[in-house]
Amino acid sequence: MELLRTWVLGVTAASLVIAVAQALMPQGTVKKVGKFTGGLILVLVLLRPLTGLDYQDLYGRVSALPAGAISQEDLAEQGNLHLEEGIEGELAAYIAEKGDALGCPCKVQVDCLPDEAGVPIPTRVTITGIFTPEQQESLGDMITQDLGITPENQQYISEETLWIPKNN
C-alpha cells in the first residue's frame, strides 16, 4: 500500500512541477521543447515502479499466500487429472475406431495410472460390444502391441443389443 501511495505522490508532484514550468516558459520553440520534455519526464515517473520491482520479494509474497490458496502441488495434480482424462478419452476413441474397422462397434473405457514422473499411462481397458472370438483376439493383439496393455488387463463384455423401432 505504501508503494502505491509513494507512486501516486510522485506522479502528482511531477505533474505540478511540469505544469508550473510550462506556465513560466515563453511562447514559441522553447515552450514546445518544454512540453515534449515534460511529457517524457511524466512517462518516466509513471513507469518507474516497473523498473524498481523486486521480483524475489514478489515471489516470496505469492509463495506465502494463505493456507486456503491453491498450492503448486494441487495445481500440478489438477493438471495431471485433466491430462489423464484426456488420454483416457483419446485412447478409448482410438480403440473404438479400431473395433469399428474390425466390424465390431463397441464402447471402450480406458483407465490410466501415473508413472513415477506423474505421466498417465494406460493400464486397463474394458470393452463392451458384440464381437466374434476372432475380432476379440485381433482387437486384443492391437491393444497389446499399440498401447502395451497386457491381455490380463483387457476385459471384454459381450452385449447383445436388441433394437426395437418406436411406433408412432
Determine the Cα–Cα distance for residues 11 and 51; give it in Å rounded to an integer.
15
Q: Which ranges of 25-148 does DSSP label H, i.e. alpha helix?
A: 29-51, 55-63, 72-101, 133-147
Range from 11-20, 50-59, 138-147, 149-158 carrying the lowest mean pLDDT: 50-59
- 23: part of which helix (H) or strand (E)? helix 2-24
Give yes or no for a contact between 125 and 109, defined as CB atoms under 8 angstroms apart.
yes
DSSP 8-state class, residue 164: -
Look at residue 88 in the predicted model and tell me its pLDDT: 86
User: Does residue 47 or residue 58 have the better pLDDT?
Assistant: 47
End-to-end Cα spacing for the chain: 72
Task: Record the pTM.
Answer: 0.51
Query: Which grid coordinates belong to 46?
Result: 509513471
Determine the Cα–Cα distance for residues 125 and 87; give it in Å rounded to an integer.
13
DSSP 8-state class, residue 113: E
Best CA proximity match to 114, nearest among 77, 144, 149: 77
The pLDDT tens digits for 81-129 are 677 788 888 889 999 999 999 988 899 999 988 888 777 888 999 999 8
pLDDT band at 163 (very low <50, low <70, confident <90, very high): very low
CA distances from 5 to 1, 26, 72, 108 (A): 6, 34, 32, 61
The pLDDT tens digits for 13-28 are 888 888 888 888 888 8
